[in-house]
Amino acid sequence: MAGQPILLFDGDCGFCSRSIEIAQRVIQPRVQFIPWQFADLAALNVTEDRADREVLWISAAGGNVYGGARALAAVLMSGRRRWWWLGIVLRLPPVSWVARVAYRAVAKNRHRLPGGTATCSLPAHARAKTDC
């Protein structure tokens, strides 16, 4: 983990995986993208339930964990210069409040978005390995 922060995402979710691909290409953040299914969650001080529920940013220094909209703000702030300001704005109230609600709505409905499947709406422990 030393050196670069980590962004954990749901590798079983087509919408999430596609969003990561776009972020890598467009924003070019300085972060390791790791599907939470392949991460040592205990070493990162993250539960499977939390990792399945929201994208997680684990800082390189200290291992602080930020989830949801705040994690997305961190991705933006670690990216190319023109994205940095948007990450700052996402962290400021009242924009942060709106971002948090919007993030929850997208996360809750990701199985309905392009790339998602109905099975992806299930908790990770209830999914068949080949369904998502």
Asked if 46 and 38 count as a contact pair (C-beta separation under 8 A), the reply is no
What is the arithmetic mean of pLDDT over 74-89?
94
| pLDDT at residue 81, as a whole number | 87
Block residue for tokens 């700052």: 88
pTM: 0.83
d(CA 22, CA 24): 5
The continuous run of DSSP H or E covering 97 comes out as helix 95-108
| pLDDT at residue 124, as a whole number | 57
pLDDT band at 110 (very low <50, low <70, confident <90, very high): confident
d(CA 52, CA 111): 13
Parallel, antiparallel, or unpaired for β 56-58 and 65-67? antiparallel
d(CA 93, CA 65): 20
User: Which of 61, 92, 72 minimizes the C-alpha distance to 16?
Assistant: 72
The residues spanned by each domain of the chain are 6-119
58: pLDDT strictly greater than 60: yes
d(CA 97, CA 99): 5
Q: What percent of the chain has pLDDT over 90?
A: 68
| pLDDT at residue 130, as a whole number | 43
